[in-house]
Amino acid sequence: MNGKQQEVSCLDGTSYAADLIILGVGVVVNTGLAAAAGLCVENGIRVDAATRTSQEHIYAIGDCTNHYNPHYQRYLRLESVQNAVDQAKVAAAAICGKDVTYDTIPWFWSDQYDVKLQMVGLSNASDKVLVRREVETPNRLSVWYFRENTLQAVDAINNARAYMLGMKVLKMGVHLDQAKLIDPTVPLKPSELIQPVP
């Protein structure tokens, strides 16, 4: 870096100048033990709705699992504490003979000094992104991700109200009035923004 401006080049040919570059490389899940035990391994240890592996008496939870998410209708591997906690509850209930299904909408949070980040849902399959900036508080905003006008995820920065509304909308499966959503004069309340699904 040495006081010189750096540049990031992307696969699509675009490039961006930056004073500081932070690289998040993620992790590679360790599935060696699972593979040695003969379990099905596909981007993690494949588990069913009750966190059961391909061997009916072996359960797996947490970052290492690739589970089916009914809300997004696809298999996911989530690296999050809450995912591990929620899956542990399902696994324990299943081991005790209860008929349970892991059906949680993914959510994440992080505190970075005076910035609180809260995220609910998964944005990678979205086709539309809306940004709402709160006029009275410049450091409070939210990013709303849609696919075919259905909410997929919300990223909230110092905006717990946006996070809570996003969680509610995702759980209920209702639609939002998008014009009102990006209007900071309209309160972030279900009564103001939720529309019936057509």
- Digit-coded pLDDT (tens) for 77-94: 998 899 999 999 999 999
CATH number of 107-192: 3.30.390.30
Q: Is 0.75 topped by the overall pTM? A: yes
Residue spans per domain, the chain: 32-95, 107-192
How far apart are the C-alpha atoms of 145 and 6, rounded to whole Å?
30
Which of the 8 DSSP states describes residue 157? E
Please identify which residue in the block is written with the tokens 């809300």: 71
Residue 1's pLDDT band (boundaries 50, 70, 90)? very low
1 vs 23, residue with greater confidence: 23
118 vs 137, residue with greater confidence: 118
> pLDDT tens, 93-125?
999 999 999 999 999 999 988 999 999 999 988
> pLDDT tens, 146-173?
999 899 999 999 999 999 999 999 999 8
Provide the pLDDT for residue 28.
Answer: 83
Provide the pLDDT for residue 70.
Answer: 87
Provide the pLDDT for residue 198.
Answer: 60
Q: Please say whether the beta carbons of 37 and 54 come within 8 A.
A: no
Q: Are strands 15-18 and 6-9 parallel, antiparallel or unpaired?
A: antiparallel
**Three-class SS of residue 159?**
coil
Domain 32-95 fold: FAD/NAD(P)-binding domain (3.50.50)
CB-based contacts of 109, cutoff 8 Å, min separation 6: 116, 117, 118, 119
Percent of the chain with pLDDT strictly greater than 70: 95
Q: Flag whether pLDDT at 27 surpasses 80.
A: no
Q: What is the mean pLDDT of the chain?
A: 91
